[in-house]
Amino acid sequence: MTPRVLFVGRGRLKLPLAPWLAKKWDALSEVIDLRVLNAGSGTGDPRFRMLPDSAPAFYSRLPLEIARSLRVFRPDAIVASDPYIGASAIAGRRLVGSKAKIIVEVHGDPRTFTRGYGSPGRRVLSPLTDAVARHGIEHADASRGLSAFTSSLIEDVRGLPATACFPTYSDLTAFTERPLVPVPDDKRVVFVGALEQYKNVDGLAAAWRRVGPEVANSELIVIGKGTRAHVIDALVHDMPGQVVHHPELLPDDVAAAVDASRALVLPSWPEGLGRVVLEAFARGRTAVATNAGGIRDIVTDGRDGILIPVADTDALAAALRRVLEDKELADRLGAAAHTTYAPWHQTPEDFAHAYRELVDRTLAGAS
């Protein structure tokens, strides 16, 4: 019997789905009877019910919207994409007396919700949001992590590792279907990600202000947008010709920027996994990244990447100098990185079957 599952998410969606994202949901629909509650916009797909984008409107409505879906769709299980949504699912289930199982996903450290995004004023909410996240994890029936790191965060609360651990599906076609190109002679590195505090954008800028003047003809490409964009704008202004900022690029253009670089740089707080590292590795490029979180599940220091301590600007600057000044090192690490990528490759069908197995185990009583 095909299980009925309600997926609830905060990441913004737009209908009709982009082709790369449709692959994921279509594959899941082959093995699960699903409905989706999600922040976003658009119509035309009966599987999806869109909720407001703004966080206050989304979270204030969520328990009632989940309760409504429980009455109408009557799912066997609810998949909550983060612990805060998990807490709302617990409340919604209680409202209607449902017996649906709740699976909570942990994609990263929930403490970054108020500490790593937006204005510093969000931090005053930290005691409350930490308690809500803990409640969502602790009282779920089952859990899913993306990496050993996120599984350990779950274990810290539940006393048990994640019920299942597998990456979120990402369409890496733009990074896997084109032929590999050699590491360039040009002394260039690339950052791809949200320009938020938790990505240590300020540390990257501080390190580049040291490295740029010391390494002739070097260049930093930054791809991303966010509340710390002004830090990169100042860098572009102060170091013309050595910093290029693209707020947003299509996947093919991101892959081209990676190809044009010697390494990816990712100096963030602990990542849940680090999808962008997999993208770089798929292109045969090494990574200068933080020695923390899920990054350690992918990158081996000295074999396929260079790992640095969290928030260590000196170490970041030194690692960037190494990869920019030693092309042979970049070549060697990049070749190993491409080999490392292979076991991480995932099709939509792989992802869907991993989810079906998790749902089946949860309904059978796994915790």
Q: In this predicted structure, what is the pLDDT of residue 119?
A: 57
DSSP-derived 3-state class of residue 267 = coil
What percent of the chain stands above pLDDT 90? 83
Please write the tens of the pLDDT for every residue from 219-276: 999 999 999 999 999 999 999 999 999 999 999 999 999 999 999 999 998 888 889 9
Task: Please give the C-alpha separations between residue 323 and each of 11, 183, 205, in angstroms, as whole numbers.
Answer: 34, 11, 17
> CATH 3.40.50.2000 occupies which residues in the chain?
4-169+346-363, 173-344
Please write the tens of the pLDDT for every residue from 26-51: 999 999 999 999 999 999 999 999 99
Q: In this predicted structure, what is the pLDDT of residue 110?
A: 72
Indicate if the alpha-carbon torsion angle 239, 218, 212, 231 is positive or negative: positive
Q: In this predicted structure, what is the pLDDT of residue 127?
A: 74
**Is-contact 153 142, C-beta < 8 A?**
no
Does position 218 have pLDDT exceeding 60, yes or no? yes
Task: Give the C-alpha separation, 89 to 62, whole Å.
Answer: 8
Task: Give the C-alpha separation, 59 to 67, whole Å.
Answer: 13
Share of the chain residues as helix, strand and coil, in percent rounded to the nearest 5: 50, 20, 30
Q: In this predicted structure, what is the pLDDT of residue 153?
A: 93
Residue 335 sits at φ, ψ, to 5 deg, of -65, -40
**Is-contact 61 52, C-beta < 8 A?**
yes
Q: In this predicted structure, what is the pLDDT of residue 270?
A: 83
Task: Give the C-alpha separation, 78 to 116, whole Å.
Answer: 27
Task: Give the C-alpha separation, 66 to 217, whole Å.
Answer: 55
DSSP-derived 3-state class of residue 350 = helix
Task: Name the nearest CA neighbour of 13 among 44, 38, 32, 49.
Answer: 38
- pTM for this entry: 0.87
Please write the tens of the pLDDT for every residue from 158-183: 999 999 999 988 889 999 999 999 99
CATH architecture of 173-344: 3-Layer(aba) Sandwich (3.40)
Residue 117 banded pLDDT, cuts 50, 70, 90: low
- Beta-sheet strand order (sheet of 187-192): 243-246, 218-223, 187-192, 263-266, 286-290, 305-308
What stretches of 173-250 show up as alpha helix (H) in DSSP?
A: 173-176, 201-214, 229-238
Task: Give the C-alpha separation, 193 to 189, whole Å.
Answer: 14
Domain 4-169+346-363 sits in CATH at 3.40.50.2000
Q: Which residue has the higher pLDDT, 263 or 122?
A: 263
